Amino acid sequence: MKTFHCGSLVPGCEWHTRADSEADIVARTVDHLRQSHGETIIRPSIVEQIKARIGDEKDAA
């Protein structure tokens, strides 16, 4: 499972998400940036920054 915390990109933001794929994380994060932070243009550099901040969630078993 992959995780992303928006606060790692936008200081102070508490939003986070998790999904099985990096593509799902990026899509959810782009939607969040548009809806919550008013971003209208998502540049490739932002997508790369999102990807660089995606982490792997350890299985709790």
For residue 59, what pLDDT is reported? 59
pLDDT at 26 exceeding the cut of 80: yes
Q: Record the tokens describing residue 36, joined without a space.
A: 């919550």
Q: How far apart are CA 10 and CA 6, in angstroms?
A: 6
pLDDT reported for residue 4? 98
Distances (CA, A) of 28 to 4, 18, 21, 32, 42: 10, 9, 11, 6, 13
Rounded Cα distance, 3 and 50, in Å: 11
Relative orientation angle of helices 44-52 and 22-37, to the nearest 10 degrees: 120
Residue 2: pLDDT band (50, 70, 90) is: very high
Query: Residue 28, Cβ neighbours under 10 Å: how many?
Result: 17
Tell me the pTM: 0.90
